[in-house]
Amino acid sequence: GENVEQHPSTLSVQEGDSAVIKCTYSDSASNYFPWYKQELGKGPQLIIDIRSNVGEKKDQRIAVTLNKTAKHFSLHITETQPEDSAVYFCAASISGGAGSYQLTFGKGTKLSVIP
Amino acid sequence: NAGVTQTPKFRVLKTGQSMTLLCAQDMNHEYMYWYRQDPGMGLRLIHYSVGEGTTAKGEVPDGYNVSRLKKQNFLLGLESAAPSQTSVYFCASSYSTRRGGKQYFGPGTRLTVT
């Protein structure tokens, strides 16, 4: 099955600096890569996603890049703010029944933004 | 829209007891999923459903059963709870992949089995 490795497990940055979280996946058939943000005591919230036919996607201060050849993808957060502090999860999908996405998650990165 | 809701929010069970977790979504999504989250393990898929009356196994299905009698509801059952099932359980729902496939999560149920 799919295996997703995520690094680093913890990351501290000064407010205003950039943060980068990296993930690698094992199954070359994976074609959908979402990123989730989880605040304490809440469910994961989808913040950005990318499909395998795209190399980069941006949404305001957040961007994701995908390198299919190397089987890795990264989350970039620019101009970090204290409210960006949370646990971030990457995921990769393989096709499930009837075309569903079966997501395999990384183990998470705890991001702390220091004011 | 309430999105994805889960009932209950917290529960404590004794070993061998049974319970059912309820997930409801009001987004008319075709697909629904149950995950468990353990410290340092990320989220792991237990079971999922691609439509009313259909279910399938995920990565860690043992000890759990599911049912999807109505499109908007997905139930997760523990017939005989074990301490290893202490976890936070999340339900998610999505449209089919042809319509985007983005999964939206509920707030979670924290289950402790003593």
**How is the beta sheet containing B4-7 ordered, strand by strand?**
B4-7, B19-25, B73-78, B65-67
Per-residue pLDDT at A99 exceeds 80 = no
Residue with the bigger pLDDT between A18 and A103: it is A18
Q: What is the 3-state secondary structure (H, E, C) of A49-95?
A: EEECCCCEEEECCEEEEEECCCCEEEEEECCCCHHHCEEEEEEEEEE
Residue A52, Cβ density class (10 Å: 0-12 exposed, 13-18 middle, ≥19 buried): middle
Region of B59 please: left (phi>0), alpha (psi -120 to 50) or beta.
alpha
Residue written as token pair 């995520």: A6
A53 at B interface, C-beta within 8 A? no
A99 at B interface, C-beta within 8 A? yes
Of A46, A89, A106, the CB nearest to B104: A46
Residue with the bigger pLDDT between B100 and A44: it is A44
pLDDT tens digits, one per residue of B26-82? 999 999 999 999 988 889 999 999 999 999 999 999 999 999 999 999 999 999 999
A100 at B interface, C-beta within 8 A? yes
What pLDDT was estimated at residue A18? 98
